[in-house]
Structure 1
């Protein structure tokens, strides 16, 4: 294929179609009216010899060919944008703009405070909007559409249109009332399955088994969830003074154990650690401010 005969704007349109899955919205992103964008899609189909996108009840769905093209085309465009972007235009010390992230409860409690402190030190003119991740799939869609700049949290869904990097690993620990822990320091497997549990679920407890329930099922056990709480920070305060036990992330447990009056103990089963991830679009590579912001998040999390 002769590259000189290819209109590279077609690849920009392809990227927009992959991210929007809608001809009208994709056209708005690249500055084309709907009829013109439809014409571009026809040219793309001729160029690659494939339908690329087919209509469905949930919108335009990419074909296998389109999915195979998405990453290399986006990477190539990202490199071109990076070459053309004036990297010297962004100075965090003097920059004035707004950035936005969406985070889980965990990110709000563990990542956001040191991130805010770093922003105030290094980029006092940058405003940060922090939104909650209530429905992870919806937040990923918002990221893909450019409504937010990054997502931070654990167990976030995958997408072919975003870049994911691991910030750090987190472990599970058990917490229980400190007075009861003093009477019996070690939490046995029998204790763990016998005692009633407090559970954190941002969805309010939708019946889907979590990592702990899946682990117990492998051992032929099941726990009783006596209380389900919508916010992670509520868990240690809710179990203090009760016979409840809870399993939660170690960093949150250590942050609130003393003030809540609970003690931390190892989970008496082998439970895999989970990752806290940063998600952003590949377009961020071409934006000096976002490149700096993503690097800052990574730097802050290395010190946690």
Structure 2
């Protein structure tokens, strides 16, 4: 009883909402973004941070050019506070088990435009059959901030070619695709097959590299000290086929997507002559969702959608995959 009284005295004036503010600032490293995450005003977050600093007798977060960086004390507190919030949230769960057929849960996913265009419709169809009340919010791939979004819980599940190399996160290979090329029918120089000399001599439409991702074809060309003639750059893979259909340009893209557009737009799809190893796409989530039953069900469903789609087949007239490497 004495111990319980001591705990009561120690925490009598502690507002547990302060822990939510702490974790929001830790994840976002920005007062304004933390306020948006918590749906409160910026002054409210600033005031809460002041109280937190008094409570722990530490600056906790220091303003720098990169944002509100956690102090050594804040780094020590982050994991226990995250766990405490998760346990508290667990006490509010009404149902013991997740039931997809009656759930009204919303899952937020960050996909590449490839995943959004090709696999999302298949996933939505599965949800309509198995969990009609479940909603999905699809965000563009967050790139460099993806790990932060997953840790903060603003993104439940992400697909990306670049895996997060951190023990806080789970990454599983989801699918892989070879790199293929799209060329219009009746191209004046290319018909039925494409060799390296033709590839390098032709003009290309290409996916624009970003700060967080360089397309596989660009890395392969660099490693071989090769250079192609890019005359048009676009921001989304799904734009490439339309350009190819109306020009003599070549586009390099994942096989599933290339074969889909080849059928729709009557294009040639040919194995690219630069590299022959497949690109792996990973499904990733933060460890705080590891034991979440609803999250487990959702990521299994996403993986099932991919498995049912199968492995893209080889096309007649396409160049065969060689056994060599770059």
TM range (shorter): 0.7 to 0.9
**Secondary structure of 1:253 counterpart:** helix
Mind listing any 5+ residue stretches in structure 2 that lack a counterpart?
A: 1-6, 310-326
Q: CA deviation at 1:123?
A: 0.1
In structure 1, the residue matched to 2:230 is 225
Please give the root-mean-square deviation of Cα atoms over the aligned residues, in Å.
Answer: 4.3
- Mapped partners of 2:88, 2:172: distance in 1: 22
Q: 1:209 to 1:275 in 2, by over 3 A?
A: closer
Q: CA deviation at 1:220?
A: 2.6
Q: TM-score, normalised by structure 1?
A: 0.73
In structure 1, the residue matched to 2:133 is 125
| Contact 2:157–2:285 under 8 Å retained in 1 | yes
In structure 2, the residue matched to 1:180 is 187
| Contact 2:21–2:48 under 8 Å retained in 1 | no
* C-alpha distance after superposition, 1:93-127 (max 9, x if no partner): 11123322232211112220211111011101112
For residue 293 of structure 2, the aligned residue among 288, 292, 301 is 288
Q: CA deviation at 1:64?
A: 7.5
Q: 1:261 to 1:75 in 2, by over 3 A?
A: farther
* C-alpha distance after superposition, 1:202-259 (max 9, x if no partner): 86xx9x9643233223323211112223332232232125322111011111111111
In structure 1, the residue matched to 2:314 is none
- Mapped partners of 2:71, 2:57: distance in 1: 11
For residue 136 of structure 1, the aligned residue among 123, 140, 143 is 143
Q: 1:259 to 1:164 in 2, by over 3 A?
A: same
Residue 109, structure 1, aligned to residue 117, structure 2:
yes
The count of residues paired between Structure 1 and Structure 2 equals: 294
- Mapped partners of 2:118, 2:70: distance in 1: 37
Q: CA deviation at 1:171?
A: 2.0
In structure 1, the residue matched to 2:265 is 260
Q: 1:291 to 1:219 in 2, by over 3 A?
A: closer
**Secondary structure of 2:124 counterpart:** helix
| Contact 1:201–1:228 under 8 Å retained in 2 | yes
- Mapped partners of 1:184, 1:34: distance in 2: 64
Q: CA deviation at 1:290?
A: 2.5
